[in-house]
Amino acid sequence: MALIGYARVSTVGQSLENQIELLQGYGCIKIFKEKQSGAKSNRKALHGALEYLREGDKLIVTKIDRLARSVKDLHNIASQLEDRGIGLVFLKEQIDFSTPSGKLMFTMLGAIGEFERDLINERTAEGRARAIKQGKHMGRPGQPRKNLERALDLFVNREENKISVNDIVKMTGVPRSTIYANAKR
């Protein structure tokens, strides 16, 4: 029986160190790591871990939400492992999926995690809609009009002045896509 760890964070700026320390402390002989959203089911390290596991092994994850962010995905992974005779343990929640009480807690906490994610998405959408309604600009700030006008003047006369679009971008700081988008108007 081997203990195999899986560690995941959602963004590149986040650190896996705490999860790796916990998994090593638990006795994991191999740890699969990745930096990708748990909402995505196509995760290379997770698929690598699932392929690596053999009957009698245990997949060790620090928290339920590190494995998946939807109840459906959690159940799919847990069922797949159970069918193959592989255990599943969540350290923070102290859940061992091989026990009946572990399965119950797993289902309840998975549902709460999905509910929490749905609430976050709902609040974000409401806030975005409110900001747009108030006339607030969403997204990156635009380039100052002065630079854009200069970039467009240079763009229109680029052949005459023997200047490339790359040179215009360097001179004005206006992105190529902005120049082309505004030149078509």
Each residue's pLDDT tens digit, 73-116: 888 888 899 999 999 999 998 888 878 888 788 778 778 877 88
List the catalytic residues.
10
The secondary structure of residue 138, as a DSSP letter, is -
pTM, two decimals, is: 0.60
What mean pLDDT value characterizes the chain?
Answer: 87
CA–CA distance, 85 with 79 (Å, rounded to integer): 10
| Domain 3-118 coded CATH 3.40.50.1390 | yes
In the chain, where the domains are located: 3-118, 145-183
